[in-house]
Amino acid sequence: MAEKDMTTKLTELLRTFQASTPGVLGAGVISADGFAIASELPQSVEERRVAAMAAAMLALGEQTTTEFEHGRLKRVFIEGTDGYTIIMSVGTEAVLSVVARKDAKLGLVFLQMERTAQALREAMA
C-alpha cells in the first residue's frame, strides 16, 4: 500500500473510532519516535506536540512497567479535571493516542480503542 493510501486508511479508521465513541475529542496514530502518522485532532491541538508527548508518555510507561515488573504495558492513562488522554500500543512501531472529555464512558473508550488498534495494525501490515 502506498504511503498516502495508508495515511488515508488510518485517518478513516480514526474518524470511524471518533464517530462511534461518544466523548472522544480526537485521536492520532503516532510513531514510536514521536511523529504523527495520521490524526483526527481538534484544530486547537498542535499535532506535533501531541505526537512528541505521546512518545514520551509511552517511554515512561514502558520504563515504569519494566521497573516494577508489571509485565507488558497495556495503556498509559492520564486523568485531568476536565478530561483524559490515553495511549495504547498499536504494535512495535506506533501508538494510538486519544483525547476524551470527562463525560466519556471509559469502558466504551477502552473497548473501541482496542478494536481500532487491531484495525490499525492490520492496515499498517
Q: Is the pLDDT of residue 79 over 90?
A: yes
pTM of the model: 0.90
Pick the CATH number of 3-124 from 3.10.20.600, 3.40.50.2300, 3.30.450.30, 1.20.1250.20: 3.30.450.30
Q: What are phi and psi of 86, to 5 degrees?
A: -130, 135
> In the 8-state DSSP scheme, what is residue 42?
-
Residue 31 confidence (pLDDT): 92
**DSSP secondary structure code for residue 72 in this structure:** S
For 96-116, the pLDDT digits (tens) are 999 999 999 999 999 999 999
Q: Is 23 helix (H, G, I), strand (E, B) or coil?
A: coil
pLDDT bracket for residue 76 (50, 70, 90): very high
Q: Which three cell numbers stand for residue 71?
A: 509485565
CA angle 73, 105, 51 (to 5 degrees): 45
Q: What is the mean pLDDT of residues 76-88?
A: 95
Domain segments of the chain as ranges: 3-124
- The 10s digit of each residue's pLDDT in 20-69 is 999 999 999 999 888 999 999 888 888 899 899 998 998 899 999 999 99
Closest by Cα among 99, 100, 98, 78 to 89: 98
Closest CA to 82 of 57, 97, 100: 100
